[in-house]
């Protein structure tokens, strides 16, 4: 056995095109239709998680955090889609689909580098919520809101409220872009190959910077789709998340190749 065999294969990144995104979405929809039970399961789990977070916000009289919490929750979408990546991987390679095998792969990730990427996404979610609280303190002081409607009235009808809303979205967009750049293909890469999570993030950033317009457009598609899917009590995520998850896998496979 040669010494090269102990090293993971070299990663080759190809520039993305609009056609790649279009084909990935078509393939994502095809995978969802081929294995709907898996997609609906993971999508429902994600939707239930979002509803649970909102319920806790209301129970703790923090209803004014409902909107930023809901938006921030979408940041962990790449981690929630790990099971969907595995389904698409098996469909692409002709392997059988079995609940035990799919769930077993997800559980096994706790011993692999993908677990560190999960930590990165959770850290960014915490940073998102922290910047919301900081901006609230700066522009609205520490006043309490008796209802979500009262919070909306303040931020939509006062100068300080509009500044909070505007800067909150700007800072949030920056955090979301950073996280997207770090995770655009790193989760499926770590599921597929034995690379470290730093290499995966660097590769993901490289993928985005090689085709910034296309990849930012892909990020916009993901963001708008998830945002609209959350409006009807997160129910749209039951379908939107699996389609986007499957599509992400196919986009990864079209942009990344390996050389021993």
Q: What is the DSSP string of 145-209?
A: -SSHHHHHHHHHHSHHHHHHHHHHHHHHHHHHHHHHHHHTTHHHHHHHS---HHHHHHHHHHHHH
Identify the pLDDT of residue 60.
63
Tokens of residue 4, six digits: 């090269």
Kindly indicate the confidence band of residue 1, based on its pLDDT and cuts at 50, 70 and 90: very low
Strand partners, 257: 12
Output 75 or 238, whichever has higher pLDDT. 238
pLDDT digits (tens, 9 = 90+) for 21-31: 999 999 999 99
Contacts of 218 (CB under 8 A, 6+ apart): 16, 21, 184, 251
Domain definitions of the chain by residue range = 17-251
What does the alpha-carbon distance between residue 249 and residue 188 come to, in Å, rounded to a whole number?
Answer: 6
pLDDT band, residue 92 (cuts 50/70/90): very high
Where helices occur in the chain by DSSP H, the ranges are 18-34, 36-59, 66-73, 77-80, 82-93, 99-108, 114-140, 148-157, 159-183, 186-192, 197-210, 212-230, 237-255
Residue 87 has a pLDDT of: 96
**Residue 73 contacts residue 132 (beta carbons within 8 Å):** no
CA distances from 123 to 76, 116, 129 (A): 10, 10, 10
Check residue 11 and give its pLDDT.
Answer: 92
pLDDT band at 3 (very low <50, low <70, confident <90, very high): very low
Which residue shows structure tokens 């790990």?
82
Count CA atoms closer than 13 A to 238's CA, side-chain side: 12
Tell whether the torsion through CA atoms of 193, 194, 197 and 198 is positive or negative.
negative
Residues for the chain: how many in total? 260
Parallel, antiparallel, or unpaired for β 10-13 and 256-259?
Answer: antiparallel
Q: Give the distance, in angstroms, between the CA of residue 252 and the centroid of all CA atoms in the same chain.
A: 14
Q: Residues 6 or more apart from 149 whose CB is under 8 A from it? A: none
Q: Comparing 48-57, 93-102, 241-250, which segment has the lowest mean pLDDT?
A: 48-57
pLDDT digits (tens, 9 = 90+) for 34-69: 999 999 999 998 888 777 777 776 666 665 666 666
């Amino acid at each position: 056995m040669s010494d090269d065999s102990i090293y993971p294969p070299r990663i080759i990144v190809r520039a993305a095109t609009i056609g790649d995104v279009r084909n990935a979405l078509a393939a994502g929809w095809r995978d969802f239709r081929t294995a709907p039970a898996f997609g609906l399961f993971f999508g429902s789990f994600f939707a239930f998680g979002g509803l649970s977070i909102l319920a806790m916000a209301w129970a703790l009289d923090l209803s004014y955090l409902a909107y930023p919490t809901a938006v921030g929750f979408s940041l962990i979408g790449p981690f929630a889609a790990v099971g969907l990546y595995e389904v698409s991987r098996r469909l692409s390679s002709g392997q059988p689909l079995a609940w035990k095998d799919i769930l077993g792969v997800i559980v096994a990730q706790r011993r692999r580098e993908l677990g560190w990427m999960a930590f990165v996404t959770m850290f960014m979610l915490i940073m998102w919520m922290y910047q919301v609280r900081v901006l609230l303190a700066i522009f609205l002081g520490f006043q309490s809101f008796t209802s979500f409607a009262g919070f909306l009235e303040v931020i939509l009808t006062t100068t300080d409220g509009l500044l909070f809303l505007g800067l909150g979205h700007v800072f949030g967009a920056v955090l979301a872009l950073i996280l997207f750049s770090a995770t655009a293909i790193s989760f499926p890469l770590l599921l597929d190959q034995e690379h470290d999570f730093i290499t995966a993030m660097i590769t993901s950033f490289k993928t985005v910077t090689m085709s910034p317009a296309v990849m930012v457009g892909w990020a916009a598609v993901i963001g708008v789709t998830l945002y609209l899917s959350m409006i009807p009590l997160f129910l749209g995520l039951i379908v939107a998340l699996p389609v986007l998850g499957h599509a992400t896998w196919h986009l990864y496979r079209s942009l990344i190749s390996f050389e021993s």
